[in-house]
């Protein structure tokens, strides 16, 4: 009986080690356009796949969000103004990322090069907002 218990315990330890490698903690990757001086997302998109909840996952999520924003860069001000629906002057917007439902957003280092200005929910030139 003693030998049987040792075999069961050994099997459990090996199974746990193997399963532990396969069950690496993963979570979602989200991208957001946030006013650089703000905390709340103007636009937010959760991607449809999971990343590892570690530094590698942070880097992967950031690269994916940068690729997503680069593909839609000409639409950025239009999407922001449409979401805000009003008059906005000199809004400085950056790309932020978050993985695994973390509490805070991480700045990617990427910003819209020019401030965003909106009039009646439409992008307009800053300083030349119609009356």
Residue 14 lies in a domain: no
Report which DSSP code applies to 126.
T
Residue 40 lies in a domain: yes
Residue 21 lies in a domain: no
Alpha-carbon distances, residue 39 vs 17, 24, 34, 123 (angstroms): 40, 30, 7, 22
pLDDT tens-digit series, residues 21-68 = 445 789 999 999 999 988 899 999 999 889 999 999 999 999 999 999
Residues 6 or more apart from 88 whose CB is under 8 A from it? 80, 81, 116, 117, 118
Mean pLDDT for 77-85 is 94
Nearest CA among 93, 102, 86, 116 for reference residue 42: 93
Confirm if 65 and 95 have CB atoms less than 8 A apart: yes
Residue 36 lies in a domain: yes
Task: Report the domain count for the chain.
Answer: 1
Helix and strand totals (H; E) in the chain: 3, 7
Nearest CA among 32, 122, 42 for reference residue 82: 122
Mean pLDDT for 64-75 is 88
Full residue range of the structural domain in which residue 84 is found? 26-124
Band of residue 73 on the pLDDT scale cut at 50, 70, 90:
confident
Residue 2 lies in a domain: no
Residue 20 lies in a domain: no
Residue 31 lies in a domain: yes
């Amino acid at each position: 009986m003693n030998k049987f218990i040792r075999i069961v315990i050994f099997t459990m330890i090996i199974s746990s080690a193997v399963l532990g490698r396969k069950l690496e903690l993963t979570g979602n990757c989200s991208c957001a356009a946030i006013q650089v001086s703000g905390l709340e997302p103007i636009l937010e998109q959760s991607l449809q796949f999971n990343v590892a909840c570690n530094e590698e996952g942070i880097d992967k999520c950031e690269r994916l969000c940068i690729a997503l924003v680069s593909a839609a860069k000409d639409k950025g001000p239009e999407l922001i103004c449409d979401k805000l629906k009003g008059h906005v002057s000199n809004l400085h917007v950056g790309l932020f990322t978050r993985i695994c439902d973390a509490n805070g957003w991480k700045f990617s280092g990427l910003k819209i090069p020019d401030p965003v200005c909106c009039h009646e929910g439409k992008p307009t030139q800053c300083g030349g907002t119609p009356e």
